[in-house]
A and B are shown apart, each in its own frame.
Chain A
Amino acid sequence: MPTLLFLFLAPLISALLLLILPFSGRPLKILALLLSLIPLGTLLIHHTDILGAQINYPWLPQLSIHFHLSVDNLSLVFLYLTAILIPISILAASSEHVSYPNVFYGLILLLEAFLIGFFTAADLALFTIFWESMLLPLYFIISLWGGEHRRAAALKFLVYMLAGSALMVAAVLFLYATANTFDIQTLIQHAASSPYAPWLAAIFVLAFAVKTPLFPFHAWLPDAYCQASTTGTILLAGLLSKAGIYGILRIGLELFPQYIQAWSPLLLGLAIAGVFYGALAAWMENDFKRLIAYSSFSHVNFILAGLFVWSQESHSGAIVQAFNHGITITALFLAAGWLATRIGSTSFKRGSGIAQYMPQLCWLTLFFVLSSVALPGTNNFIGELFILFGLFGKNPWLAGVLGLSIIFSVVYMLRWMQKMYFEEPHLIEAHGSDIGLKELLIAAPLVALILLVGIYPDSILKYSEPASEFIAHANGESA
């Protein structure tokens, strides 16, 4: 079996196995974890050998839809992110709090399969199918295992997503009409020839903007992020937002570069507004889960700003930053989730000076916070530096303004640390003690990745740079 097909089918079959097999409790979680590690293992074994891998089966000839997957540098970065975050999101779930664990783990692996399909789809119709499919497992994960208002939040999330991408099928069909194929590589040459090209570009950008979300399409975000369980939030913030970013890279920048470029002032303006809106909202929050949700929103808009700046450096930086944000936000939500289960709430008022009681959790959280605020030596520093560098080349003033947002993020993040972990020691109630070896082991790969990218950025730049070059190249041809 071709490696790529295996990569896609392994989580899909695992998902079905988990639904059917009569395991429960701890063995089930271990089984789910092992199954979710298969894609990561496959990626690590083949590593760069998988670049350029293709599978192409005529799946639905009557609809001209091919089951066509291919891997390039861009896909590889996102594949790694998926393969790393899924096992961590499984580990983030506490097995005693998950009812119907078979369904829960099955859905996570199903999501993994859809994401792998999405990040490698080379057929536009297939891309659309995976794009919409990934909403379903997420909808159920939020709807079944979350906070008090989870079902309303899940429905709102789903309807927003669908409304955002409602017309995508029409846009896909319009593109099909230009070249009589759904093959993305072929469409790159023909997309601009469609008489409705600006409309199509707008439809795609809207769909991606809602999912990422770009300011002001984020109304679904606070509820969904906060009502979801830690696992759900990790999947939403770490992976779903990356699907939007990948969409903008894959479809927006490759198929419609001239329009993205033409709309760059508007889109960049929205993204920068989003960065500051998110930062200010986070600053005002007295609930740390919402605070991290808004900080995620702010950082994601930072990445989008990088995409909408028309320079190769900032594109490369945005790709790196997409990876970094996935890692860091997962780490933050993980740490926040551990804190929440220990103090029984996500409110600031439930305790302060927690460093006294839980020193290890405190230092771990502090490390993740510092990574999030882009301390030099951590991963986010590299990505944001590239984005700002690219922006500086275009518009130094704007780069200065965007640079300010990093200060904002320091302010709101450290405010959280200050209020909850330091200050006068005082706790209203505590369930359990400090994190132990198990939690540290879960966090270890994240810490390692944060430091690896921070200290040796070439480890990821060698994939993001060819990817951004490819975009520049594609634009050079079609522009």
Chain B
Amino acid sequence: MNTSLNSTDLAALSPLFILLAGGLIVLLMESFAELWARRYSFGITIATFILAIFAVIKAPVSQNPLLTMWLNYDSFYQFFTLFFLLIGIASAFLSAAFFKKNEATHGEYYFLLISAVTGLILIAAAADFLTLFLGIETLSISLYILCGYMKRWQLARESAIKYFLLGSLGAAFLLYGIALIYGGVGSTSFSTLLNSYHALQSSQDKMLFLSGIAFVTVGLAFKAAIVPFHVWAPDVYDAAPTPVTAFMSVGTKIGAFVAFARVFLIALPQFDPLWNEGISLLAYPTLIYANFVALRQTHLRRFFAYSGISHAGFLLIPLAVGSASVLPAFIFYLVVYACATFGAFAVLAFVDKGSEGVRLHDLKGLFYRSPWLAGILTLCLLTLAGFPPTAGFLAKFYIFKAAFQAQYYGLVIVGLLTTVLAAYYYLRIVSAMFAEESEEEGVVARSYYAAVIGACAVAAILVLSIYPTPLMEYLASWS
């Protein structure tokens, strides 16, 4: 076997190298030249991400078995790598807006952000359970630190520890599941998984494999915050700095679902109806519970935790369907969700109050203070609520149609009924923005960083609402 890497292989790996280099530069700069770090780490981070985007687009596909054993170079990888890099850029912008208001060191922060994005990319590229685990852990460990990044905030440490403990529990489940799967089929590679499962003869091996799958599912459900594995999410989201909350509600959520898609939609499509049954049993409580609890939230970061859980419920619907044909609907939903959530957080960055975050009554009268901000937030919330004619409706419709064709009528009906609740709690926020009586004269800070993200999110939502066909076609063309 060829054990050396040629230049093509290195070029294929270049996005990861660029992220590594960028991350190291930022970290070293923080250690040796703090003043520089303060000034330039944001710029270096953005440059790193942009360079990586170019690298992903230009990079050749490596055929070297040394790499393909661990990493996939398919369109799924390419799409999600770009997507995650864009998420990284958006998070960096929101973080810059945050650091304008809150005093803290910058270098480690951006290093951790870059590492988290690297973890996400590894998840998307994973061709083996070990790469997947590596990606998830790189992501999680960076996030444990990021959650407690504001060391002086009262709840930050508590929530970081909570996240760390429950997260390691999730990781343990995942790793144990991988071990069991390996015990069952003798390999951790995705490419042979389906065939070796079908080739399994003894019921003992089958049992091993299936319990391994169950553990992996639980581990990923922890990361995706699916009821009943969601308990960490509200507290952690609430106590983390707002840009980290934004990154978690988009990046982590999507990362966990990409892992689900990698394993269960691409590697093991409909391997056993039992699994699909199980996922649909998770979807019901997730949809119902999250939507009911979200009705009563007044802290926006906590609110977005529940809103994120309810969207996870929606994303479980295509997983329950479980065939590769739902992938376009699934990814389209992720894209719309990411745009709308980032747009909403961009607006929250303007009214954010550090450790307190944003409460519902901080938004009171926002329309009269700043009609543009209120307009952006309204559009994003309506998209999250799935209101036509926004892209949110199309995304939900796409998922419902896929679920419908697979005859998951119950999920469609519960999903539709919960959208009524969702409409109520998203519109409650909208309604607050249009209230005249603002209790305190909330000053809206100026922040060009957040404004850029808000404008991009709005543009993306508008394009996706009016003519999403190119994206849908592209997604359908390779999945």
Contact = CB atoms under 8 A, between A and B. Distances in A.
Q: Which of B389, B394, B396, B404 has the most CB of A within 10 A?
A: B389
Given A60-B394, A62-B398, A136-B382, A162 B419 contact: yes
Contact of B400 (A103, A140, A162, A173): A173
B247 interface: no
A132 B388 contact: yes
A100 B436 CA distance: 13
Contacts of A177: 404-405
Contact of A169 (B400, B428, B435, B468): B400
B427 A155 contact: yes
A129 interface: yes
Nearest to A131: B388
Nearest to A143: B434
Interface of B: 328, 367, 371, 382, 387-389, 393-394, 396-398, 400-401, 404-405, 409, 412-413, 416-417, 419-420, 423-424, 427-428, 431, 434-435, 467-469, 472-473, 476
B431 A159 contact: no
A170 to B, nearest CB: 5
A62 B396 CA distance: 13
Given A62-B328, A162-B423, A169 B397 contact: yes
B431 A154 contact: yes
Nearest to A114: B389
B387 A62 contact: no
B416 A167 contact: yes
B368 to A, nearest CB: 8
B388 A144 contact: no
10 contacts: A60-B472, A61-B473, A62-B472, A63-B394, A63-B401, A139-B427, A144-B367, A159-B424, A170-B412, A170-B416
Interface string A151-177: 100110011001100110110011011
B397 A62 contact: no
A169 B398 CA distance: 11
B382 A167 contact: no
B420 A159 contact: yes
Contact of B424 (A125, A139, A140, A155): A155
A114 B328 CA distance: 28
A59 interface: yes
Given A62-B469, A166-B417, A132 B387 contact: yes
Nearest to A135: B387
A133 interface: yes
A146 B251 CA distance: 41
B419 A166 contact: yes
A162 B388 contact: no
A171 to B, nearest CB: 10
A267 to B, nearest CB: 24
B311 to A, nearest CB: 17
B416 A155 contact: no
Contacts of A60: 394, 468-469, 472
A128 interface: yes
7 smallest CB-CB distances across A and B, nearest first, come from A62-B472, A129-B388, A173-B404, A132-B388, A133-B389, A133-B388, A166-B420
B428 A155 contact: yes
Contacts of B423: 158-159, 162
A240 B75 CA distance: 46
Given A151-B434, A155-B428, 12 more contacts: A61-B472, A62-B469, A114-B389, A130-B388, A143-B434, A144-B367, A166-B419, A166-B420, A167-B413, A169-B397, A170-B404, A170-B409
A172 to B, nearest CB: 9
Nearest to B435: A151
Contacts of A132: 387-388, 393
A116 B388 CA distance: 16
Interface string A140-151: 100110000001
A293 B469 CA distance: 43
Contacts of A114: 389
Given A60-B469, A154-B431, A170 B388 contact: no
Contacts of A63: 394, 397-398, 401, 472
A62 B473 contact: yes
Nearest to B468: A60
Contacts of B401: 63, 173, 176
Interface string A43-69: 000000000000000011111000000
A144 B371 CA distance: 12
Nearest to B469: A60
A61 B467 CA distance: 11
Contact of A162 (B328, B420, B472): B420
Given A60-B469, A166-B417, A103 B389 contact: no
Contacts of A144: 367, 434
Contacts of A136: 382, 387
B438 to A, nearest CB: 14
A189 B396 CA distance: 28
A79 to B, nearest CB: 19
B388 A128 contact: yes
Q: Which of B404, B428, B435, B476 has the most CB of A within 10 A?
A: B404
